[in-house]
Structure 1
């Protein structure tokens, strides 16, 4: 079972980078993580909700039926609604644990289960990745600061299906120009990747386009994290690589997957902290991530995580 680091002083958690500019907090250790939030028995739960063990994942890519797609539209719209609501609360002084609490309450209010909760023993209901945390940051008691960059990843299990999306936001008005460019580029990588999706398109085209966009802007793709198939299962085939690759496989009608590139302003390499989840860049550079769940259809591609 994965554990969280607790009982550390505030000064132990964070330090300033050595470079003169930009100045931002580098996350070196997780903060204190609150107890697991309660989900009422009346809410339908995925198979791992109690055990943390994932079952029922298909071995091959699958085409969803019209009914399945309709249900996924509902779950994906709800995920987008929640990420929009939570994003409005992002400001200096707010802790990521408070963001998690609000997201959790919105899930319960809409009779949905927060997909990350106890998935392979992840302890919270959303992922919040700040500054040099590339992915899978665990919400904790650290207050956000003016100048931070934060990615929030919201996933819900609703009506038997998962919906998954993520956004990155700047905190306050003191984020430097390169930080703003990083966030813009990460979103552009996602948007350009979606544009090349459609029946018969190679899956590897997604990674090729993302790599070009990131490189032209002077940033790098973090290859450790990929998109994934999604449905009644949280993660399944295909793996969607966000870097240039030679993987085989084509998109087909009814295929549903996420695209979620993590873009770094420096090194693409990451290391995992002692909590078993928090992934930080090895050179302490900042990252940004955007994510949508998409459906390959006869018209090309449908973004499901929209309102």
Structure 2
């Protein structure tokens, strides 16, 4: 069942989203060669607690960290580690909080120092595909209008969407109905209504779309070893159009 949020619930979700955006911005400023993702994880948790919020991921299904830190060919759900980041890599950070009973969830992929043109294109296309999906998150559209907008933009630029992991509804639960695929035919799926809140999150591979999960049971990597990018926003569907709750 897709839950419709009240005005008060949306206000709390905006607050949760603002906290996510603020902390992701702080983490983004710290990314540089030599920094470890474990340092970033600890910073995220400190900043979260400072604001009176709770990290949404830590302990969720047994996940051991506050952020998902996924460099290079890691697609999503990567573990923070003490390995220093290396110049030329890209790093995806997925982060969420719980604030007054409601969740915010967002992800970015960022360069570690200077990166090559193909990696920069991957980041630009993935970010833009999220924007294209959000533009379709409006009253009267169908869910797969979002999906199709993402997929068609990504594939037009020669990249592949990941199909094993998808976006989701969000609210009191981190993952609510409906699932939000990054692929599919337009004009299909549930009708979008005011008060729905969706976490839209394209995961895009530079090579083929296939992924596998490592032995830790969480970390997903590309099958061909090529890099992957991930961008996400929590988006409210309103009569005035889509509202990004996790924008800075």
Indicate the TM-score class for this superposition, using the shorter chain for normalisation.
over 0.9
2:27 is matched with 86
1:250 is matched with 191
How far is 1:196 from its partner?
Answer: 1.3
User: How many Å separate the matches in 2 of 1:250 and 1:144?
Assistant: 43
1:290 is matched with 231
1:225 is matched with 165
TM-score (norm 1): 0.79
2:150 is matched with 210
The structure with the largest strand share of the pair is: 2
1:33 is matched with none
Residues 179-203 of structure 1, C-alpha deviations (whole Å, 9 max, x = no match): 0000000000000111111111010
1:181 is matched with 121
How far is 1:248 from its partner?
Answer: 2.1
Unaligned runs of 5+ in 1: 1-59
1:9 is matched with none
1:13 is matched with none
User: How many Å separate the matches in 1 of 2:74 and 2:145?
Assistant: 27
Matched, 1:127 2:58: no
The structure with the largest helix share of the pair is: 2
1:236 is matched with 176
Summarize the alignment of residues 130-141 of structure 1 with structure 2, pairs less than 5 Å apart: 130-141=71-82
How far is 1:100 from its partner?
Answer: 0.2
User: How many Å separate the matches in 2 of 1:121 and 1:245?
Assistant: 35
Residues 159-210 of structure 1, C-alpha deviations (whole Å, 9 max, x = no match): 111100111101111x111000000000000001111111110100111111
User: How many Å separate the matches in 1 of 2:142 and 2:112?
Assistant: 37
- SS of the aligned residue for 1:164 comes to strand
TM-score (norm 2): 0.98
* Alignment coverage as a number of residue pairs: 247
User: How many Å separate the matches in 2 of 1:212 and 1:96?
Assistant: 33
User: How many Å separate the matches in 2 of 1:204 and 1:118?
Assistant: 31
1:44 is matched with none
1:161 is matched with 102
2:58 is matched with 117
Matched, 1:304 2:233: no
RMSD of the alignment, in Å? 0.9
1:75 is matched with 16
User: How many Å separate the matches in 1 of 2:184 and 2:221?
Assistant: 22
Matched, 1:143 2:87: no
2:208 to 230, 249, 267: 267
2:222 to 281, 301, 307: 281
User: How many Å separate the matches in 1 of 2:178 and 2:230?
Assistant: 20
Q: 1:150–1:171: 8 Å Cα contact kept in structure 2?
A: yes
Matched, 1:62 2:30: no
Q: 1:225–1:261: 8 Å Cα contact kept in structure 2?
A: no
> 4+ residue stretches of structure 1 with deviation over 6 A?
none
User: How many Å separate the matches in 2 of 1:250 and 1:190?
Assistant: 20
- SS of the aligned residue for 1:224 comes to coil
Q: 1:114–1:125: 8 Å Cα contact kept in structure 2?
A: yes
- SS of the aligned residue for 2:30 comes to coil
